[in-house]
Structure 1
Amino acid sequence: MHTEHLYIVAYDIADQKRWRRVYNLMNGYGEWLQLSIFQCRLTAQRHAELVALLDGIIHHRDDHLMLLDLGLAEQVVPRVISLGKMFTPVAREPVIV
């Protein structure tokens, strides 16, 4: 089995059309947490694929996107203060390609 890391992906996209493209792409890679924030379990290959696809969508002068690596997904113990909805790390699920 490939090692997966848990990532938090946050983005600020200046154009609504590009924002929608990023949002739709992220739905295929992770779980939506709140506006412009996703959590993803990714192998190194899926991470590289996602970065390449996102890099092709955003405008580097206008947009900002961050991928925060929280470490090995099976070993992450999040230290999160969550008010309102509870935060739980995304569970491992099969990926259909």
Structure 2
Amino acid sequence: MPSERLYIVTYDIADRKRWRKVFATMEGFGRWLQLSVFQCRLSARRRGELSARLSDIIRKDEDHVLIIDVGPAGNIEPHVESLGRSYSALERKAIVI
């Protein structure tokens, strides 16, 4: 199994239509945490695919996407303080294609 890393992806998209496209794209790569924040477990290949898809959607002069590499997904236990709704770390799940 390829090694996966844990990423936090957050974005600020100037146009509502592009925001919806980014949100829909992100749903295929990770779990939604908040309005424009996703938690993702990705192999290097999937990480590259995510960047390419987002680059095709956003306008580099108006939008901003941050992809934060937290570290190896198998060795990371994020320390997160959650106020309000509960937070749970993203667990590895089998995906049947």
Distance in 1 of aligned mates of 2:43 and 2:96: 14
Per the normalisation by structure 2, the TM-score is 0.95
Q: Hey, which bits of structure 1, 4+ residues long, moved more than 3 A?
A: none
Instruction: Specify every segment of 5 or more residues in structure 2 that has no aligned partner in the other structure, as ranges.
Output: none
Distance in 1 of aligned mates of 2:83 and 2:62: 31
Secondary structure at the counterpart of residue 32 of structure 2: strand
2:29 aligns to what?
29
Instruction: Specify every segment of 5 or more residues in structure 1 that has no aligned partner in the other structure, as ranges.
Output: none
1:8 aligns to what?
8
Q: How does 1:33-44 map to 2 (within 5 A)?
A: 33-44=33-44
Distance in 2 of aligned mates of 1:71 and 1:92: 15
TM-superposed CA distance for 1:96, in Å, is: 3.8
User: Identity of paired residues, percent?
Assistant: 49
2:94 aligns to what?
94
Aligned amino acid, residue 39 of structure 1? Q
Once the two structures are superposed, residues 20-46 of structure 1 have per-residue CA deviations (whole angstroms, 9 ceiling, x without a partner) of 000000001100001010000000000
Aligned residues: 97
Distance in 1 of aligned mates of 2:49 and 2:95: 14
Once the two structures are superposed, residues 29-73 of structure 1 have per-residue CA deviations (whole angstroms, 9 ceiling, x without a partner) of 100001010000000000000000101100001000001111011
1:56 aligns to what?
56
C-alpha spacing 1:42/1:56, structure 2 compared with 1 (3 Å): same
Secondary structure at the counterpart of residue 32 of structure 1: strand
